[in-house]
Amino acid sequence: MSISRFISVLVKEYRHILREPRTLWMVFLSPAFVLVALSTIFISGSGRIHLTLWDQDRTPLSRQFVAALSSDDDFSISYASGYEEIDALLARRSVDAVLVIPTGFAHTIQKGDSAPVQVILDGVDTFVAGQATGSLLGHAADFGLELNRQFSTPPPPLQIRAQSAYLPEASERESMIPGLIPIVFSLPVMAAALALARERESGSLESLVATPVRGLEYLGGKLIAYVTAALVGLLPVWLTAVLLFGVPFRGSSLLLVALTIDFLLASVGMALFIGNLTRSQQTATVIALFVFFVPGFFLTGMIDPLDTTDLASTAISYALPSTHFVTICRAIFLKGANLVEVWRPALALLALSVAWVGLGALTFKKRIY
Amino acid sequence: MLSDPTAVSKTALLRIMRNILYRIRGLVIKELLQLRRDKLLLGFLILGPLLELLLMGGMTGGGVRNLPLAVVDLDRSRASRELVARLDQTDELLVRAYGESVAQAEEWMQSGQVGVIVAIPPGYGASLTDPLQSAEVQVIADGSSYVVSNVAIGAAENVAAEIVRDIAARYGLASALHRPVGANAPTGPVELRFIARFNAALDGQPGAITMMLGLIVYQVTLIIAAQSFTRERELGTLEQLRVTPLGRVELMAGKAIPTLVVGLVDALLMIGVIVAWFDIPLRGSLPLLLLLTVPFVLVQIGWGTLISLISRTQQQAMLFVFALAMLEIACSGFLVPAGSLPEAMRVLSRFSSVQHYMAIVRGVMLRGAGLGVLWSPGLALGGIALAVMTLAWLRLWVGLDADSLRQRLRAAGHIRWRERRVVRRTKKPKLSREPAYVDVRVEIDD
């Protein structure tokens, strides 16, 4: 390992990035751009659920129930009568849930019993179905309280006092944005995979073979060039999150920078390993997309938290650097965590970077195909 | 006998058509040969989707399970132990640790070891059975993840409702509470009975897997198309392509057909895996699904061609693809249901091909919908495909070079802006990126 050879590779890589203005902008600004695109879709408060009502009862009490459902903006309500119409609506996907108030609804309640109300959900999108379930249960409970209010009733025997730590408002956008940071950094990371494959495809590796540059110096130069280039993109990303979307930043910025370097070393190392395997940039892109794109959304715990009791899937998730960085970003931004509190994911990233770069160096051969 | 002029023009037309098809065939064969040569790429294009689906399909869609829970039981009674056992029995929560105090448990949450804290106050068991008192349990959820806090609080509330119901059944507490309305019903006067259509168990897997199917077909076709011209440009073979007699439409069609084939083969194989391996039913018609996959892939080919014409290197093309893919994801209803998108994004989502394709895939596979229902997303996909293809064709008409649009605009605006440009030029001389061709003529004396 010679420092001067390493530096000359580094300079060459910087020249590659800086030479193309388009690549330059894409590497620096695309993470922030993508973060804006992904963040604007999260608006606070639950969205409107399309609810269709069939009131078979048609009594003052059933109308009161309907009024309780439309008291806020949770539902956009339409009316139907007959199961054929309901089936058609569900098949056309124009409704998320259907509520059927049976005849005798008011009568049952006035007798003091609980009146059954049928809810037909569209089960395909379980997320919407869950939202609708929760919202309907809440409104039904409110309706019960409303009916009981005129009488003095003691409180129920068990009450839950729920509290959401760190973000008392439980804002979806503010909790999602730090989790999105790892995936927006896959753009500059994937560029590194192509940088390696390009040398092989365009034949410039042949001239490198003739130089005294060794495998580790070559890979190290590429690694550091892309890690530093991507790191510059952290500033626009941070500004977007904190200034544009008002995400609280409670941790130390120095720690964030240090752990972002940690993360970038691991993921650029992984990208270089991919680029090293392939002979053409097209193959490198396809493999990189398979590794970074869909798994980046499904396996990193960005949306649904990981089920750590399932060892096989946890092992795969932990092999992806993004998984650890999702935890780190949320902890630093929202929890104000210090290094001691995030040492586990930080160490995991360090181990991954050593492993991926080591694998890359082992498999890298200065050869011409 | 007089020759019929229409017959002549018909044969001429036929000949032209045959020539066009012949030229397209040549390009298609070249593309397929290129694909066959790169075994790793071919393997990943065909087997990659299947592997990814098999690997990830089994891991996702189970919903939120086994969130690590810390219990701070200051009551230590039978009732509090029962509460903890019930919390542990839920799918969503899993008791991981017992804390001495809330402060200690909060430290665990700070370092990410637990996601939820349930604190049971002293005297919980006593006040639970005392009709005049109400027991209060504190639930603290990790709000840094919206999903964790939502699910955890919901699960705890469900357990609490269950306990209330049981107490009512055991002690007849509800009647003791003198509830005038719904007195025999401790859960309230209205009981909601949920039925989930198309997916009775509300299993998240069918939704997640169909989403993956759409996203994988999307990424594969878009990336092949996006690197088509860029690759040729970078390797220098675009020059050769330019001197062939291929027209613009022929060029686009020749590049599009192999991508379309790969996309359809991938979709078909993945549908097979979904039905055979994951036991997700195919309720509608397979030919209809494949038919509607065609416009979806055509949209990606259009976008890809456009990207490959404006990027100078494959690296740029890949970055464009990823940025576009993120936009599509944002609009597709995958992260946020399409109904709860903000107004501006909802308008944008009408142009998202992934969103329409998801409606089609889920419609055919899970809802068993036919063309009578799916004509509208199908038509939307067709419209988007046509629009994007036209854009790509227009861009091709401008020129094959990555910079040709800029050059054309520069040429068009040249006369008007000449003065200003001259001033700027004299201030700061800029090196031209275009290669200079020098006409060298050597004359040899004899």
CB-CB under 8 Å, A194 with B315:
yes
CB-CB under 8 Å, A153 with B66:
no
Q: Are residues B84 and B52 in the same domain?
A: no
Partnered with residue A116 across adjacent β-strands are B191
Q: Are residues B380 and B275 in the same domain?
A: yes
3-state secondary structure of B435: coil
Q: Any idea which of A278-282, B262-266, B290-294, B398-402 has the lowest mean pLDDT?
A: B398-402
Q: Are residues B207 and B288 in the same domain?
A: yes
Q: Any idea which of A349-363, B24-38, B120-134 has the lowest mean pLDDT?
A: B120-134
With contact defined as beta carbons under 8 Å apart, do B64 and B208 qualify? no
CB-CB under 8 Å, B146 with A171:
yes
Q: Tell me the domain boundaries of chain A.
A: 3-41+171-363, 49-148
Q: What superfamily in CATH does domain A49-148 come from? A: abc type-2 transporter like domain (3.40.1710.10)
CB-CB under 8 Å, A342 with B68:
no
| C-alpha span between A36 and A30 (Å, rounded) | 10
Q: Are residues B50 and B80 in the same domain?
A: no
Which distant-in-sequence residues (6+ apart) come within 8 Å of A260 by Cβ?
A231, A234, A325
Structure tokens at A289: 């997309």
Boundary-marking domain end, from B402, B425, B440: B402
CB-CB under 8 Å, B178 with A153:
yes
Sheet with B135-142, edge to edge strand ranges = A158-165, B135-142, B116-120, B67-73, B93-98
Q: Which of B62, B189, B223 sits opposite A114 (nearest CB)?
A: B189
CB-CB under 8 Å, A293 with B219:
yes
Please check the confidence at residue B183 and state whether its pLDDT lies above 50: no
Q: Which of B44, B63, B319 sits opposite A30 (nearest CB)?
A: B319
- What is the radius of gyration, based on Cα positions, of chain A? 28
Q: φ, ψ for residue A17 (rounded to 5)? A: -70, -45
- Segment B17-27 shows an average pLDDT of 88
Q: Are residues B231 and B350 in the same domain?
A: yes
Helix orientation angle between A21-39 and A215-232, rounded to the nearest 10 degrees: 50
The answer to whether residue B3 is domain-embedded is no
| C-alpha span between A327 and A160 (Å, rounded) | 28
From chain B, pick out residues whose CB is under 8 angstroms from the CB of A289. Answer: 219, 223, 321-322
Q: φ, ψ for residue B295 (rounded to 5)? A: -60, -30
In this predicted structure, what is the pLDDT of residue B181? Answer: 41
For residue A116, what is the enclosing H or E element? strand A115-122
Q: Are residues B209 and B337 in the same domain?
A: yes
Q: Which of A124, A282, A335 sits opposite B198 (nearest CB)?
A: A124
Q: Which of A115, A289, A299 sits opposite B223 (nearest CB)?
A: A289
Q: Are residues B137 and B38 in the same domain?
A: no
For residue B440, what is the enclosing H or E element? none
Q: Which amino acid is at B82?
A: E
CB-CB under 8 Å, A304 with B196:
no
Closest-approach residue (CA) in chain B for A119: B194
CB-CB under 8 Å, A162 with B157:
yes
In B81-148 the beta strands, taken as DSSP E runs, fall at 93-98, 116-120, 135-142
In degrees, to the nearest 5, what angle opens at C-alpha A265 toward C-alphas A264 and A266? Answer: 90
Q: Are residues B300 and B154 in the same domain?
A: no
The answer to whether residue B220 is domain-embedded is yes
Partnered with residue A51 across adjacent β-strands are A77, A97
Structure tokens at A207: 């001239």
Structure tokens at A200: 């092989």
Closest-approach residue (CA) in chain A for B43: A283
Residue with tokens 């909601």: B192
Q: Give the number of domains in chain B.
A: 2
CB-CB under 8 Å, A109 with B45:
no
The answer to whether residue B83 is domain-embedded is yes
3-state secondary structure of A158: strand
CB-CB under 8 Å, A155 with B134:
yes
Does any CB of chain B come closer than 8 Å to the CB of residue A311? no
In this predicted structure, what is the pLDDT of residue B415? Answer: 56
Measured between CA atoms, how close is A261 to chain B, in angstroms?
21
Measured between CA atoms, how close is A13 to chain B, in angstroms?
14
For residue A77, what is the enclosing H or E element? strand A75-79
For residue A333, what is the enclosing H or E element? none
Q: Which amino acid is at B85?
A: A
**A–B CB contacts, 8 A cutoff, strictly below:** 417
For chain B, the three-class secondary structure string (H helix, E strand, C coil) is CCCCHHHHHHHHHHHHHHHHHHHHHHHHHHHHHHHHHCHHHHHHHHHHHHHHHHHHHCCCCCCCCCEEEEEEECCCCHHHHHHHHHHHHCCCEEEEEECCCHHHHHHHHHCCCCCEEEEECCCHHHHHHCCCCCEEEEEEEECCCHHHHHHHHHHHHHHHHHHHHHHHHHHCHHHHCCCCCCCCCCCCCEEEEEEEECCCCCCCHHHHHHHHHHHHHHHHHHHHHHCHHHHHHHHCCHHHHHCCCCCHHHHHHHHHHHHHHHHHHHHHHHHHHHHHCCCCCCCCCHHHHHHHHHHHHHHHHHHHHHHHHHCCCHHHHHHHHHHHHHHHHHHCCCCCCHHHCCHHHHHHHCCCHHHHHHHHHHHHHHHCCCHHHHHHHHHHHHHHHHHHHHHHHHHHHHCCCCCHHHHHHHHHHHCCCHHHHHHHHHHCCCCCCCCCCCCCCCCCCC
In this predicted structure, what is the pLDDT of residue B176? Answer: 41
3-state secondary structure of B194: strand
Q: Are residues B32 and B100 in the same domain?
A: no
CB-CB under 8 Å, A136 with B192:
yes
- What is the radius of gyration, based on Cα positions, of chain B? 32
The answer to whether residue B154 is domain-embedded is yes
Measured between CA atoms, how close is A60 to chain B, in angstroms?
15
CB-CB under 8 Å, B64 with A305:
yes
Structure tokens at A165: 């730590």
In this predicted structure, what is the pLDDT of residue B414? Answer: 63
Q: Which of A20, A120, A282 sits opposite B227 (nearest CB)?
A: A282
Interface probe with B: pick from A29, A41, A101, A185, most Cβ of B within 10 Å: A41
Residues B225-248 have pLDDT tens digits of 998 888 888 888 888 887 888 888
CB-CB under 8 Å, A307 with B65:
yes
| C-alpha span between B182 and A145 (Å, rounded) | 11
Does any CB of chain B come closer than 8 Å to the CB of residue A149? no
Q: Are residues B51 and B73 in the same domain?
A: no
| C-alpha span between A339 and A250 (Å, rounded) | 13
In this predicted structure, what is the pLDDT of residue B391? Answer: 92
Owning domain of residue B91: 67-176
With contact defined as beta carbons under 8 Å apart, do B202 and B196 qualify? yes
Confidence of residue B378 (pLDDT cuts 50, 70, 90): very high
In A148-282 the beta strands, taken as DSSP E runs, fall at 158-165
Measured between CA atoms, how close is A7 to chain B, in angstroms?
23
> Between the CA of residue B444 and those of B437, B439, B441, what are the distances in Å?
22, 16, 10
Q: What average pLDDT is seen over chain B? A: 82
CB-CB under 8 Å, A327 with B112:
yes
From chain A, pick out residues whose CB is under 8 angstroms from the CB of B216. Answer: 294
The answer to whether residue B286 is domain-embedded is yes
Q: Which of A27, A115, A312 sits opposite B189 (nearest CB)?
A: A115
> Between the CA of residue B419 and those of A145, B197, B411, B425, B428, what are the distances in Å?
77, 70, 14, 10, 15
Closest-approach residue (CA) in chain A for B216: A294
Q: How far is CA B406 from the centre of its chain?
A: 32
| C-alpha span between B400 and B233 (Å, rounded) | 9
CB-CB under 8 Å, B52 with A294:
yes
Q: Are residues B308 and B384 in the same domain?
A: yes
Residues B422-442 have pLDDT tens digits of 555 555 555 555 555 555 566
From chain A, pick out residues whose CB is under 8 angstroms from the CB of B323. Answer: 26, 30, 33-34, 187
Q: Dihedral angle at the C-alpha atoms of A119, A120, A122, A123, nearest 10 degrees?
A: 80
Residues B41-86 have pLDDT tens digits of 888 888 888 888 888 877 766 677 888 999 999 989 998 999 999 9
The answer to whether residue B129 is domain-embedded is yes
Residue A155 CB-half CA count within 13 A? 11
Measured between CA atoms, how close is B245 to chain A, in angstroms?
26
CB-CB under 8 Å, A158 with B137:
yes
The answer to whether residue B307 is domain-embedded is yes
From chain A, pick out residues whose CB is under 8 angstroms from the CB of B313. Answer: 20, 23, 198
Q: Which of B160, B319, B339 sits opposite A48 (nearest CB)?
A: B339
In this predicted structure, what is the pLDDT of residue B425? Answer: 54
Which distant-in-sequence residues (6+ apart) come within 8 Å of A169 by Cβ?
A44
Q: Which residue has the higher pLDDT, B207 or A168?
A: B207
Which distant-in-sequence residues (6+ apart) come within 8 Å of A286 by Cβ?
B41, B44, B45, B48, B220, B223, B224
Boundary-marking domain end, from B131, B160, B176: B176
Q: Are residues B141 and B209 in the same domain?
A: no
The answer to whether residue B52 is domain-embedded is yes
Residues B382-391 have pLDDT tens digits of 999 999 999 9
From chain A, pick out residues whose CB is under 8 angstroms from the CB of B195. Answer: 118-121
Does any CB of chain B come closer than 8 Å to the CB of residue A240? no
Q: Which of A117, A160, A305 sits opposite B145 (nearest CB)?
A: A305
Name the nearest CA neighbour of A85 among A53, A123, A124: A53
| C-alpha span between B89 and B112 (Å, rounded) | 22
Whichever domain contains B129, its CATH number is 3.40.1710.10
Q: Which of B135, B147, B220 sits opposite A157 (nearest CB)?
A: B135
Q: Which of A49, A161, A337 sits opposite B136 (nearest CB)?
A: A161
**10-residue averages of pLDDT along chain A (369 residues):** 85 84 79 88 68 89 86 82 85 83 85 82 79 81 72 61 73 84 90 86 81 83 90 92 90 93 93 87 88 85 80 87 93 89 92 90 69
